[in-house]
Structure 1
Amino acid sequence: MPHDKNPIEQSPEVAEFWQAARERRLLLKRCGDCGERHFYPRPYCPFCGSARTSWEQSSGRGTIYAFSRPRKLPQPLAMAVIELQEGVRLTSVIVEAELDRLAIGQEVEVYWRMGEPAPELAFTTIEAQEARGYATRAIAEAAGVGG
């Protein structure tokens, strides 16, 4: 079945999720009846069936619960189950990190891959993110930019 519309336009129930994704924010749903958080976004709670769900900002941080590293892909990545700090587990990919050094329990954070028709939810390791920040600051300092 071809996708004539982008994901943002397909379902009004998830439009807020995709808008937040474009702003590099991760939203979860929380049930107003049973209090459980869940992901992927949907209008009904998968735990109790309630339609009283609302959006909640995620920290975007979590740990690797499980992962697999396919070796013959066009770009390096690891498929993973991430357990967010909020307790929700979700399936995603880990990118832009030292994949040979991944470990169960390792801390990760959201790393949105911006593209069309919609951003792609991915994760990277905290170590890799800190290294990128250090490199960016060093380059700026060497160029005489910033404080």
Structure 2
Amino acid sequence: MATDTRFDGPGPDAQYLQALQERRLMLQHCEDCAAVRFPPALVCRACGSPRLQWRASPGLGSVYSLTTVRDRAGDYNVALVDLEGGARMMSRVEDVAPDAVRIGQRVRARIVAGEEPFVVFAPAEGDAP
């Protein structure tokens, strides 16, 4: 009986975090339907295929939706960003006032290093409000 190699080694979340630790934004691409997958998973959300391959993302995208969170420590935004290629990520847009971020704004991903690195966005060059 053949074993499922998807369960060999670290899982998709661990692979994603490892890539971030190496300062690379990697996204899963389905080899059967060409969908781009985020967050990482064992099967494609669009077609159910287990044939997902990791590919580097340039991290360019646009703000799909956003809200400003008011907090005693300071306001910040929460944004849904459509990355080129089809994946959508929730994060925040930095290097600009929370109220200045706008839907459709071009942004670029930046990896914040640490024990558990994460992705934030900043206005793409030439697109500051």
- TM bucket normalised to smaller: 0.7 to 0.9
User: What is the CA distance between 1:88 and its match in structure 2?
Assistant: 1.6
Relative to total residues, which structure has the larger helix share, 1 or 2? 1
Match of 1:122 in 2: 120
User: What is the CA distance between 1:106 and its match in structure 2?
Assistant: 0.6
Unaligned runs of 5+ in 1: 1-10, 131-147
Secondary structure of the equivalent of 1:17? helix
Give the number of equivalent residue pairs: 119
Change (3 A) 1:77 1:127: farther
The percent of aligned pairs where both chains have the same amino acid is 33
Per mean C-alpha deviation after superposition, the further-off stretch among 37-46 and 118-127 is: 118-127
Unaligned runs of 5+ in 2: 1-9
Secondary structure of the equivalent of 1:44? coil
Q: Give the number of the structure whose alpha-carbon radius of gyration is greater.
A: 1
Question: Higher relative contact order at CA 8 Å, sep ≥6: structure 1 or structure 2?
Answer: 2
Q: In structure 2, what is the Cα distance between the partners aligned to 1:111 and 1:129?
A: 16
Q: Say whether residues 1:70 and 2:69 are aligned partners.
A: yes
- Cα RMSD for the two superposed structures: 2.2
Aligned pairs for 1:28-67 (under 5 A) are 28-67=27-66
User: One-letter code of the match for 2:19?
Assistant: A
Relative to total residues, which structure has the larger strand share, 1 or 2? 2
